[in-house]
Amino acid sequence: MTDIPARDFEPPAHLTVALPPWELQVGNDLEDVYCAYTEWPVIITRGFPPVVLDRMRDMGGWSADRLRAIRVDPALLDRFEELLNALPGQDDFPRELDLDWVSSRRRMSEEVEHLLGVARAAIGIHRRRYYDYGVMLRRVRLCASMLSSAAQYPVNLATFPDLIAHYRQELSRTTEVLVAMVVSEDPTRPRDPEQWNLERGFAAFAEYLVSWRTGGADLDDEFHERLKQTDIVAGFRSSDASKHDFMWHKHREPLPEEELMLLPVPHSVEDREQLEERLAAIRSIAASGEFERALGLLRQLRDVCRHVLGPVHPLTLHVQVDFAATHCVVDRAGTAILMLFDVATTALHYYGPHHPTRYLIIAHAHSYLLGLAPDGAQELYNFPLKSLVTSGDTGLSPELRRARHTIRAALGMHACERVAHPDRRGTEPWHSRAGTGNSSE
232 and 305 co-located in one domain? no
Q: What's the chain's Rg over C-alpha atoms?
A: 27
DSSP for 184-248, please give it: ---TTSPPPGGGHHHHHHHHHHHHHHHHHHHTT----HHHHHHHHHHHHHTT----TTGGGTT--
Tell me whether residue 112 is in a domain.
Answer: yes
220 and 152 co-located in one domain? yes
Tell me whether residue 215 is in a domain.
Answer: yes
Q: Are 30 and 112 in contact (CB under 8 A)?
A: yes
Q: What is the dihedral of CA 204, 209, 214, 215, to 10 degrees?
A: 90
Answer whether residue 165 shows pLDDT above 90.
no
238 and 300 co-located in one domain? no
Average pLDDT over the chain, rounded to whole? 82
Tell me whether residue 355 is in a domain.
Answer: yes
Q: Are 301 and 276 in contact (CB under 8 A)?
A: no
350 and 218 co-located in one domain? no
Q: In the prediction, which pLDDT does 16 show?
A: 62
Mean pLDDT to the nearest integer, 404-409: 92
Tell me whether residue 209 is in a domain.
Answer: yes
113 and 200 co-located in one domain? yes
CATH number reported for the structural domain that contains residue 421 in this entry: 1.25.40
Q: What is the largest CA-CA distance in the chain?
A: 102
Q: In the prediction, which pLDDT does 235 show?
A: 87
355 and 265 co-located in one domain? yes
**Distance separating alpha carbons of residues 95 and 75, to the nearest angstrom:** 32
Which residues lie closer than 8 Å to 161 by C-beta, 6 or more apart?
A: none
3-class secondary-structure state, position 117 = helix
Burial (CB count <10 Å: 0-12, 13-18, 19+), residue 194:
middle
* Structural domain total, the chain: 2
Mean pLDDT to the nearest integer, 418-435: 43
Which residues lie closer than 8 Å to 419 by C-beta, 6 or more apart?
A: 412, 413
240 and 264 co-located in one domain? no
Q: Are 130 and 195 in contact (CB under 8 A)?
A: yes
Tell me whether residue 11 is in a domain.
Answer: no
88 and 229 co-located in one domain? yes
147 and 39 co-located in one domain? yes
Q: In the prediction, which pLDDT does 138 show?
A: 95
Q: In the prediction, which pLDDT does 107 show?
A: 92
Tell me whether residue 49 is in a domain.
Answer: yes
Chosen domain end from 244, 275, 304: 244
**Distance separating alpha carbons of residues 317 and 142, to the nearest angstrom:** 34
Q: How confident is the model at residue 229 (pLDDT cuts 50, 70, 90)?
A: very high
Chosen domain end from 192, 220, 244: 244
Domain that holds residue 174: 22-244
Q: How confident is the model at residue 276 (pLDDT cuts 50, 70, 90)?
A: very high
Q: How confident is the model at residue 21 (pLDDT cuts 50, 70, 90)?
A: very high
Q: How confident is the model at residue 416 (pLDDT cuts 50, 70, 90)?
A: very low
DSSP for 122-148, please give it: HH-TTTHHHHHHHHHHHHHHHHHHHHH
Mean pLDDT to the nearest integer, 216-232: 91
Chosen domain end from 217, 244, 271: 244
161 and 290 co-located in one domain? no
Task: Name the most confidently modeled range: 238-247, 324-333, 420-429.
Answer: 324-333
240 and 268 co-located in one domain? no
Q: How confident is the model at residue 9 (pLDDT cuts 50, 70, 90)?
A: very low
377 and 290 co-located in one domain? yes
Q: Sort residue 49 into left (φ over 0), alpha (ψ -120 to 50) or beta.
A: beta
Q: In the prediction, which pLDDT does 35 show?
A: 92
Tell me whether residue 15 is in a domain.
Answer: no
Tell me whether residue 278 is in a domain.
Answer: yes
Answer whether residue 429 shows pLDDT above 60.
no
Q: What's the Cα-to-Cα distance from 420 to each of 26, 320, 410, rounded to whole Å? A: 54, 27, 12
